[in-house]
Each structure stands twice: as C-alpha cells, then as structure tokens.
Amino acid sequence: MLTVHTRLREERPRDPAHWDRLAPVVSALSIPVCMNGDVMKYEDIEKCKEETGCSSVMIARAAQWNPSVFRSEGFLPMETVMSDYLKTSVVYDYHFKNTKYVLAQMMEGAQRTKGPYQDQYQSLSRSKSHLDMCKVFDVNTSWYEERKGETLGGLLQDTKLIKKKRKAEHQEAKLAKEAKISLEMEMAAGEKVACEKEAGEVIVGDCDGAVPNEKRDVKYST
C-alpha cells in the first residue's frame, strides 16, 4: 500500500489538500492507495474514495480534534468526547501533560476557545494534575479517587506524588550505585592485599642448597 499526502511540500495545513491530483496516481498503480489530507468528517471518507479511487484514508487532525470522527452515526458532542477522553486518561494513567495537550487541541480544533469553552480553556491551562482537570470538566472527584490508575495497579497521576516516587527511585538507584562502588573498592583492596602477600613470597627451586619449592619471604632471599 502507498499512502499519499495530497499537499505540496511548501504548503501548510491551512492550504487545501489536492484530492483532485490523486486519481492519476491511483490509476497508475496496481497497489492500494491510502489518501491523506483534509478528511475532516465521516462522510468525507466515502467522498474521497469516490473522487480519487483510493482504497482507504488516513485521518490526522480531525481525529485529534474529535476522535468520534470515525463514528458512522456522526460526531459525538465535544463535552462527551472531552470528558470521556479525560476519564480514559485517568483510568489508563496517561501523563497528565499529554492529556492536557490533547484536551486543549480538542478545544482549539473545535475553534470554540473564544466561545463557550473560553473559561474552561483558561482553567485547563492552569491545571497541574488530572484531578485539576476533572474539576474543569465536571468529573466527580470521588470518581477520580476510585478509578485513578486503575488499569496499571494504581499508579498515581498526581504530579507531587509522581515527583516523590521518582525522587525515591532516584535515591534508591544512587544508594545501590554507591553500595556497588564500595563493594568493588573492598574487593579491589582485598585483591591488592592478596597480591602483595603473594609478591612477598617466592617459590625457590634448586638454589643455595635450599629445599626445592620451599616458600621463602622475599626479604630474606638474596
């Protein structure tokens, strides 16, 4: 399969995609072609297939702005989508900054930040945790407490707790490293003592009438 983005390299997302230029590419190929660019609603999928002959489409911004674009029944209301996304983020323990970014994108995508979402948008900008965001989107605090990190054994979303956990892990790693270094130093010191001891002794063969293989201290051998 070949996926074709139907904008020119120098064009920006605000420039319309050139669906009309794809048909010759599709007919010149014997492999399936996936079309990308400006598929903004469910009905566009069929429209694009008819106009270009492509076998499938790739949706980027529209899916980021409202994932319900894939519903054949049509878009769900933004309030539902945002609140569902936030709840999913809590349960699956997404990083709260990621959730915040996507929610902001949803609002911006809906081009309604200056409209009914303006207050929510400001409050979202000030959010520092999933719990803060739950307050913005009217998700019950007790729901949050019950479900947070549910799928991952209760890993916590709260930034302070995340920082505390990371600090403890860092400290633990530091202590383990120090213990390893000190053990290595001890072993090296032990080896040094053994080497010195061995160097202080010589195995003497047939010399000066000494008993073969007798061990003598170097200090006394000449």
Ligand X SMILES: Cc1cc2nc3c(=O)[nH]c(=O)nc-3n(C[C@H](O)[C@H](O)[C@H](O)COP(=O)(O)O)c2cc1C
Segment contacting ligand X (CB under 6 A): 59-67, 111-119, 181-189, 192-200?
59-67
* 120 lies in the site for ligand X, by CB under 6 A: no
Segment contacting ligand X (CB under 6 A): 26-34, 55-63, 92-100, 120-128?
55-63
Under 8 Å between Cβ of 54 and 22: yes
* 47 lies in the site for ligand X, by CB under 6 A: no
* 39 lies in the site for ligand X, by CB under 6 A: yes
For residue 25, is it left (φ>0), alpha (ψ between -120 and 50) or beta? Answer: alpha
Task: Give me the least distance between CB of 61 and ligand X, in Å please.
Answer: 3
* 211 lies in the site for ligand X, by CB under 6 A: no
Count helices and strands (H / E) in the chain: 9, 5
Q: Which is nearer to ligand X, 63 or 76 (CB)?
A: 63
Cα 73 from chain centroid? 32
* 61 lies in the site for ligand X, by CB under 6 A: yes
The residue among 48, 61, 57 whose CA lies nearest residue 21 is 48
* 60 lies in the site for ligand X, by CB under 6 A: yes
Q: How far apart are CA 67 and CA 106, in angstroms?
A: 9
Q: How many CB atoms lie within 10 A of CB 137?
A: 18
Which one among 33, 45, 59, 107 touches ligand X, defined by CB under 6 A?
59
* 85 lies in the site for ligand X, by CB under 6 A: no
- At residue 138's C-alpha, the angle toward residues 134 and 143, to 5°, is 60
* 2 lies in the site for ligand X, by CB under 6 A: no
Which one among 37, 44, 48, 52 touches ligand X, defined by CB under 6 A?
37
Q: How far apart are CA 190 and CA 37, in angstroms?
A: 69
Task: Give me the least distance between CB of 63 and ligand X, in Å please.
Answer: 7
* 5 lies in the site for ligand X, by CB under 6 A: yes
Under 8 Å between Cβ of 23 and 53: yes
For residue 201, the cross-strand partners are 217
Q: Kindly state the number of chain residues that form the binding site for ligand X, as judged by CB under 6 A.
A: 10
Task: Give me the least distance between CB of 135 and ligand X, in Å please.
Answer: 26
Q: How far apart are CA 120 and CA 107, in angstroms?
A: 9
Q: How far apart are CA 146 and CA 163, in angstroms?
A: 21
* 64 lies in the site for ligand X, by CB under 6 A: yes
Segment contacting ligand X (CB under 6 A): 56-64, 158-166, 181-189, 202-210?
56-64
Interface residues toward ligand X, by CB under 6 A: 5, 36-39, 59-62, 64
